[in-house]
Structure 1
Amino acid sequence: ESIAIASTEKEKDAIYENYILGEPEEIYSKLAVEPVLRTYLLSLIATEFVKNKKEIISFFEKTFWAHQYEDMRHLEGTITRMLGLLEHWKFIETGDRDDFVSGDKILNDDVSATILGKRVAELYIDPLTANFIIECLSKVNRNTDDFAFLQMISHTIEMRPLLRARVKEIEEIEEKLAEYNDSLLEKEPAMFDADYDDFINSIKTALFFNDWIEEKDEEFLLEQYNVRPGETRVKLGNADWLLYAAEELSRILKMQRIIKEITKLRLRIKYGVKEELLTLLKLKNIGRVRARKLFFNKIKTIGDVKKAELGTLIQILGRNIALDVKEQVGQSFKNIKVKENKRKGQISLKDY
């Protein structure tokens, strides 16, 4: 049951027309979408809800997906293909098979998730995305920079919709691509390949993230990329999620040298800052704007904050934040009266 509240007769009539007399809309099972099927199939195996192919088929026979399409043989073929991909990507393992086995034996062969597969399921990303990230991480070398990681996460299903490159922007984006091409973790497709447009869109999306971590403000991003502040937050949230997934996959695969770089990039995505400000961001209540003000005034490290005069910090940060920051570095000034915003040589009315 539900209750509809209308403020006017006209609104009441509209609600009645649309929701009481309206025709029910068709609904479709999301399992028909391969990324969703891959994700749920791996989750079922990782949680040991199903332990062999027979149980997998039995589970999906009871779904709305099977009811809607009424062709279980075709769906079974799709599931078998998905299982083959998951095994090829080393996310699952199946029981050993001889060259010749019966259909019943194949159905009853054990299916279990690997340690890597369990982590992919926990991260709740498409296994295709996880495999793409793993392949990219295996190519990391000394030339790899932050832009390469940003392009990697931008070319995933989870980041869609990507920022679309307009015709008039293509030339400029391709110039940027030439600048970063040597550091990218995936090969640029040929210009007339079906994937080329999607690849170019991933470059534009990566440029958007790169401008954010280079401290461009939301007004600039709106003008340059037509991305509004709310959309920016959604994109940044997705970027952090995918970078966290990359960090965790690096940990499982013992790619220790990569973890530090991705952790650092996650912080830059979170705050929208250059690497030089990361030390100052360890202080509570210091974000990108205050950190940049401190850095501009040659206060670049926690040690510099300790050495700085309280009056100087008050001029930069304001009284309350300055006192709080000093306390964070082990210096308490609670009992000291400080004249706010008083510059050297300045006299206030109270001095007369």
Structure 2
Amino acid sequence: MSEHRTATRVPMDGNKPRMFVFVLLENFTMLSFASAVECLRIANRMTGREAYAWRLIGEGGDRVRCSAGAEFTLDGDLDDLRRDDTLIVCSGIDVQGATTKKLLGWLRREARKGIMVGGLCTAAYTLAKAGLLDGKKATIHWENQDSFSEEFEEVNLTKSVFVVDGNRLTTAGGTSSIDLMLKLIADDLGEELANSVADQLIYSSIRTDQDTQRLSVPTRIGVRHPKLSQVIQMMEANIEEPISPSSLARVVGMSTRQLERLFRRYLNRSPKRYYMELRLQKARNLLMQTDMSVINVALACGFASPSHFSKCYRAHYDTTPYRERGSHAARLSI
């Protein structure tokens, strides 16, 4: 049985709503934020009282724009919170740019109070940057996992939908906010109410922290072949030190030629080509989400030399790694 750590916080006062303080960062993901708030709103409606309250704050205390372009008026700046508040940071694209020194200092100060701190979608990056996830289990959107694991080795990164580790909460983004909030509501007010909230949301498959965020390999590639899935899983787990096609074939009890035919039949490409695309996709994520040098990105993705990496990258993406990083930085500055 896997280790399960419950949230530790001040028990709810029946006459006082539990306060959630949402910190909205520029370009935050609206779906993750809205899913969390809707759970709280419906819980209030189902109980017939204000079991939960919430405030929206952010750096500057004025307005903030989500990644969909909608603007939100904030209730306040990064001010002092009470120890029994629950602080939830909401982020989305370019979380690195939205994670300012002022925000990091404020988060560290508030966390020293023993306050419960959470991060939705990519906000686990912000919490980790502030040092709030050191030695903790956490999760982040699958698209950001490669860069996160490279930068924060002291965090035990999982692929779970959400993680509760003591007074730290993290989610993978999207609708995973619903699963986290339903767990918190169940802890506060009982599973029956949490199930009623899920019914109101037409949310029929409540996930736990044991569920992983990405679709299974067969579902993702649209093919249900056990040996093909096993090989792809091994490829995904061995990006920095790629395994040869002959070794992959041997593990699943096939000849190299049989493995070639299997990939050609179902994926219309060779195992070597498929593996290369996986490595280049990770490289692209690292180029766009970290400050790692191109040389270090190449090494992290199994390329022995920067020149070979650049040649392969250009053949696949029709641009060089250096230009990719430069054009991405230019887009974010607009």
Which structure would you say has the larger RCO, counting Cα contacts within 8 Å and 6 or more residues apart?
Answer: 2
Q: TM-score, normalised by structure 1?
A: 0.25
> Which one has a larger percent helix, Structure 1 or Structure 2?
1
